[in-house]
Amino acid sequence: MARTATLTRTTSETDITVSLNLDGTGKAEISTGVGFLDHMLTALARHGLFDLTVRAKGDLHIDFHHTTEDVGIVIGAAIAKALGDKRGITRFGHAVTPMDEALAEVAIDISGRPFLAWDVTFERPKIGEMDTELFEEFFRALAFNAMMTVHVTRRAGRNAHHVAEVCFKATARALRMAVAKDPRIGDAIPSTKGAL
């Protein structure tokens, strides 16, 4: 059964459509109007081996907050929809990922209990025109709408671009592991409760 989802979310602030295939090849078609966010989502797809299309129009004349957060909301909701009842998934994933001087650790539990633990700081408030504080907003929206627990920790790094990018790459690797089918579990739900 295909683990795919296509969702659209339209508000007075943003209009976003996301298509996701969890069992893809890393193909990304991203257009949010925020160049650095496009770059990060491309990395998320490539290193997670997800096929991801994002088309977003937002009130960028105000700032990038609504677009960044709402893209996280829709991608998270697409992950949840594509996973269905979560039968047969590995459930847990983790990655410790380097990028030059930067190092990030990400742990994920597709638990049905949304939570974000964010321990990432940046040496400067902006990367290009994007506020670095928006990355926490994106990851919170992603975690809460995918109904998963996500821990993101910066272990090292001075270059803000590298720190942001390694957080996305580590998340991609951890999520790829967590959503993977576990052949040993078969069609069971990986929980003692019988539901996630």
CB-based contact 176:109 (threshold 8 Å): no
The one-letter amino acid code at 113 reads: R
Q: Which helix (H) or strand (E) holds 136?
A: helix 134-146
Q: How far is the C-alpha of 114 from the C-alpha of 63, rounded, in Å?
A: 27
Number of domains in the chain: 1
State the helix-helix crossing angle for 160-179 and 65-83, rounded to 10 degrees.
20
Examine residue 90 and state whether it is found in any structural domain, yes or no: yes
Q: How confident is the model at residue 189 (pLDDT cuts 50, 70, 90)?
A: very high
Average pLDDT over residues 112-123: 98
pLDDT at 73: 98
Choose among 80, 75, 70: nearest CA to 137. 70
Examine residue 186 and state whether it is found in any structural domain, yes or no: no
Average pLDDT over residues 65-81: 98
DSSP assignment of 43-97 equals HHHHHHT-EEEEEEEE-TTT-SHHHHHHHHHHHHHHHHHHHTT-TTB--EEEEEE
pLDDT at 35: 97
pLDDT digits (tens, 9 = 90+) for 48-69: 999 999 999 999 999 999 999 9
The one-letter amino acid code at 67 reads: T
Q: How far is the C-alpha of 58 from the C-alpha of 145, rounded, in Å?
A: 19
CB-based contact 56:16 (threshold 8 Å): yes
Q: How confident is the model at residue 100 (pLDDT cuts 50, 70, 90)?
A: very high
The CATH number linked to 158 is 3.30.230.40
Examine residue 146 and state whether it is found in any structural domain, yes or no: yes
Is the pLDDT at 138 greater than 90? The verdict is yes
Give me the domain span that covers residue 172: 4-179
Examine residue 193 and state whether it is found in any structural domain, yes or no: no
Q: How confident is the model at residue 146 (pLDDT cuts 50, 70, 90)?
A: very high
Examine residue 81 and state whether it is found in any structural domain, yes or no: yes
Examine residue 190 and state whether it is found in any structural domain, yes or no: no
Average pLDDT over residues 15-36: 98
Q: How far is the C-alpha of 142 from the C-alpha of 49, rounded, in Å?
A: 17
Examine residue 187 and state whether it is found in any structural domain, yes or no: no
Provide the percentage of residues in the chain whose pLDDT is more than 70. Answer: 100
pLDDT at 1: 81
Q: How confident is the model at residue 26 (pLDDT cuts 50, 70, 90)?
A: very high
CB-based contact 41:52 (threshold 8 Å): yes
- pTM here? 0.98
Examine residue 119 and state whether it is found in any structural domain, yes or no: yes
